[in-house]
């Protein structure tokens, strides 16, 4: 590749080099081409082993792939992480319409307070670093699905930011049940940390009974996506995908390029 596009940075041993994309715009263009021309390699990295030396890139690519799958819609199985009335851990089906609209929403508190969520739409934050919430969907049945996409071996939930977001969304929307869905690679199914509910962190401030009302009818779930699910997208219109839904992470494409060389 021309040196104007990728800079080769010598490492401290003066024997090896690290490729770095020269700009965010160039990174976007390269990623778009990889999506179209080398989807298989991208999927391989997204579903690579957890101890991969390129874990940061793998995590961000998995998030990108997961968004594409969820946006396309379909039937997904949710596995409860909490026992229901002593009846064990239940599963339920989630149907995301193949014709669902895609919306990117503003994430400032006052903007969320005035946002009436489009029912059955797949909604993604405009902010690239919105805490713990990667997407949401509100159903006509008044169930709010919150999606957290991750490759981590556990994922604590920040209690206070979650309550603040739910309070803002309730200003213009009605939901009586909240399903918090961790979207994971299928290889994580059965791992001990993902067979039980994730812990809440409170930052030293204990919630009151009134605060707990924000999380009334709140249930944690896992959803598992497989490499086969992602490769199936190759049969769909890959050209419709764009890096607009790719998380903005410095060096993501650099790691991808380095892995393939």
The model's pLDDT over 96-126, given as tens digits with 9 standing for 90+, comes to: 999 899 999 999 999 999 999 999 999 999 9
Contacts of 9 (CB under 8 A, 6+ apart): 17, 18, 19, 20
What is the DSSP annotation of 236-254?
Answer: S-GGG--GGGS---TTHHH
The whole-number pLDDT of residue 5 equals 66
pLDDT for res 84 = 61
Q: What is the pLDDT of residues 90-102, one digit of tens each?
A: 899 999 999 899 9
Compute how many other C-beta atoms are within 10 angstroms of the C-beta atom of residue 34. Answer: 19
**pLDDT tens for each residue of 167-185:** 999 999 999 999 999 999 9
3-class DSSP assignment, residue 256? helix
Q: What percent of the chain has pLDDT over 70?
A: 81
pTM score, two decimals? 0.81
- Taking the domains of the chain in order of start, what are their residue ranges? 6-260
């Amino acid at each position: 590749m021309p040196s104007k596009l990728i800079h080769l940075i010598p490492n401290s041993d003066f024997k090896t080099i690290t490729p770095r994309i020269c700009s965010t715009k160039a990174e976007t263009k390269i990623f778009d081409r990889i999506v179209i021309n080398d989807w298989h390699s991208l999927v391989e990295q997204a579903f690579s082993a957890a101890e991969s030396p390129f874990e940061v890139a793998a995590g961000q690519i998995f998030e990108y792939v997961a968004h594409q799958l969820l946006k396309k819609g379909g039937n997904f199985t949710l596995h409860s992480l909490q026992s229901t009335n002593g009846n064990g851990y239940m599963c339920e089906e989630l149907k995301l319409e193949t014709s669902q609209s895609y919306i990117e929403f503003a994430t400032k508190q006052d903007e969320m307070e005035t946002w009436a969520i489009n029912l059955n739409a797949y909604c993604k934050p405009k902010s690239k670093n919105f805490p713990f919430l990667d997407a949401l969907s509100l159903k006509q049945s008044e169930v709010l699905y919150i999606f957290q996409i991750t490759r981590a071996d556990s994922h604590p939930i920040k209690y206070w930011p979650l309550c603040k977001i739910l309070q803002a969304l309730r200003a213009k929307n009605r939901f009586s049940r909240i399903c918090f869905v961790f979207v994971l690679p299928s290889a994580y199914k059965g791992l001990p940390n993902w067979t039980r509910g994730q812990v809440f962190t409170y930052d030293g401030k204990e919630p009151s009974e009134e605060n707990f009302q924000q999380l009334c009818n709140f249930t944690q779930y896992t959803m598992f996506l497989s490499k086969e699910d992602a490769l199936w997208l190759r049969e769909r219109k890959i050209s419709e995908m764009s890096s607009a839904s790719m998380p903005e992470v410095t060096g993501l494409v650099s790691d991808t390029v380095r892995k393939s060389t």
